[in-house]
Amino acid sequence: MASKAGISEGTVRDFESGKRIPNPGKLSAVRYALEAAGVQFYVDGSGVRLQRQAATQPSLAEGEAGIIANSEM
């Protein structure tokens, strides 16, 4: 998460442990990284939830193999 937010792991640990209070810029970067990973924040600030992902097949490049769901023929 730290790398996705562009901050150090130590900074995240300090935020989590309460040793440091994040400045608005770093707090926004953390929120953006979490939202990019599918976390949705409630508008009233009461909590978060994980966004449901639609079941989609990954797009594969030509010649690339994917996982076979059922190997029975």
Q: Is residue 61 situated within a structural domain?
A: no
Q: Is residue 37 situated within a structural domain?
A: yes
Whole-number pLDDT of residue 14: 94
Q: Is residue 32 situated within a structural domain?
A: yes
Our count of domains for the chain comes to 1
Q: Is the pLDDT of residue 66 over 70?
A: no
At 5-47, the pLDDT tens digits run: 999 999 999 999 999 998 999 999 998 999 998 988 888 878 8
Instruction: Give the structural domain span for 29.
Output: 2-41
Q: Is residue 62 situated within a structural domain?
A: no
Backbone φ and ψ of 21, nearest 5°: -105, 125
- pTM for this prediction: 0.62
Q: Is the pLDDT of residue 64 over 80?
A: no
Instruction: Please give the share of the chain, as a percent, with pLDDT higher than 70.
Output: 71
Whole-number pLDDT of residue 10: 94
Cα 24 to its chain centre, rounded Å, is 19
Q: Is residue 63 situated within a structural domain?
A: no
